[in-house]
Structure 1
Amino acid sequence: MVKGRIVSALCACAMSSSIWAADIQITVLGSGGEPLENAVVFLKSDALIKQAKPQTGVTMAQQDRAFIPGLQVVTKGSAISFPNQDDVRHHVYSFSPAKTFELKLYIGKPKDPVVFDQEGIVELGCNIHDTMLAWVLVTNTSVYGKTDANGLVTFSGQPSDTYDVDVWHRSFPYGAPFETAQVALGKTDVTQTIRLDSGSSF
């Protein structure tokens, strides 16, 4: 079953130069029809999910009272370290259903990393510094990309298959799931426009 809210999608096909693989071009629009830059788009199929492995050496640091990077994408089962590189203590936490945890007041590097073992969107904060905010997107595929200023992202050379497409943008309300769509890829390139529904905050 496809999770999340269903989005409206328009498909058009063009000939590909390869008979074995083709490109998927996806444009993400807001509910008002405007292109969305820096939307994260995930491409998922049974084959891609089987290939995905937990990542190693992933960090989400705190520096200058900010999370670095502010957005981290990991495959399910990956562990993230949270080194504090500031000279003040931080208290990192998340109440998100995909991962609830606390790293209470500390300086330096916590002894154990945090394992993100459930797919979903994890919003991070600091209990001491309210302006600190970051996200961890936990997925079961390693194939993803960010949209450009035109709301476009391209996945090149994908084999023929039916793909689920998950979309996230930082403007989503707290607790909102990934937006979802589906695309069938044969031996021709596919161009798909995903317009997020009115349930998202844009």
Structure 2
Amino acid sequence: MLRFLVLLLPSFGLMAQPVSVTVTSNKDNPVFQAVVYLVPHSQEANQAPPNDVSVMDQIDRQFVPHILPIQKGSKVIFPNSDSIKHHVYSFSPTKRFELKLYQNSKAESLLFEKDGEVELGCNVHDWMLAYIWVVDTPYFVKTTETGQALLDVPEGKYTLRVWHPRIQDDLDTLAQEINVLGSTDLNVNLTKDLLEDLSLFEDQTDGFSDYD
């Protein structure tokens, strides 16, 4: 089954508990599409990545989704749903790759074996920008427009972490050590301004009509 994000329930005996996390900016505004993830202290609570393949599509000359969280060891495919060619690449140390000009096709899936940030671009359309955030845990989700994230995790101790490409706060400083024994509500409040949103540009004239 193809998917954009993951919420996994444990297969062992520990009871799953709901964890609600709200992420707000230093101006008390909700932070949309922040990746919220819980790293278990117990290896028992960790699970191997699923066999599902995640999708980073290209629609209307934009990557969809803009932010894709996946578990380390997962695969991602990069279909081109446009009628024009795209040339996807990443120079990020977490995963360097290049998918040369292709059109109306599904490129082969790529395996992501390291955790961290993977910034994506297109050599044909310079404004196209997206991120894959690879986490070493099966418990992750993106925040909604209200800045909320809901997860179900086994009881136990975790490190709560948050990531977004616009966050300037030190990620380790934002991390929280928590002990989930029942329904849990948490808040992550940023202290620094968010970086400029570069996900969309008004001027999308690329001058590469030969590639259309």
TM-score normalised by L of structure 1: 0.74
Q: How does 1:158-177 map to 2 (within 5 A)?
A: 158-172=153-167
1:88 to 79, 84, 88: 84
Over the aligned positions, Cα root-mean-square deviation in angstroms equals 2.9
**Alignment map for 1:4-153 (pairs within 5 Å):** 22-45=17-40, 46-47=42-43, 50-109=46-105, 112-153=108-149
Where relative contact order (Cα < 8 A, 6+ residues apart) is larger, the structure is 1
Q: Which runs of 5+ in 1 are unaligned?
A: 1-19
Q: Deviations over 1:23-47 (max 9, x none)?
A: 3222212133332233221111034
CA distance in 2, matches of 1:178, 1:123: 20
1:195 Cα deviation from its structure 2 partner: 1.5
CA spacing shift, 1:48–1:154, aligned 2, 3 Å = farther
Q: In the comparison of the two structures, how many residue pairs are matched?
A: 181
Distance 1:67 1:181, change over 3 A: same
**Structure number with higher strand proportion:** 1
| TM-score (normalizing by structure 2) | 0.71
Query: Structure 1 vs Structure 2: percent identity of aligned residues?
Result: 36
Point out where structure 2 has 5 or more consecutive residues left out of the alignment: 1-14, 197-212
Shift of residue 199 of structure 1? 7.3
DSSP 3-state at the match of 2:91: strand
Which residue is equivalent to 1:194? Answer: 188
Distance 1:81 1:179 in 2: 33
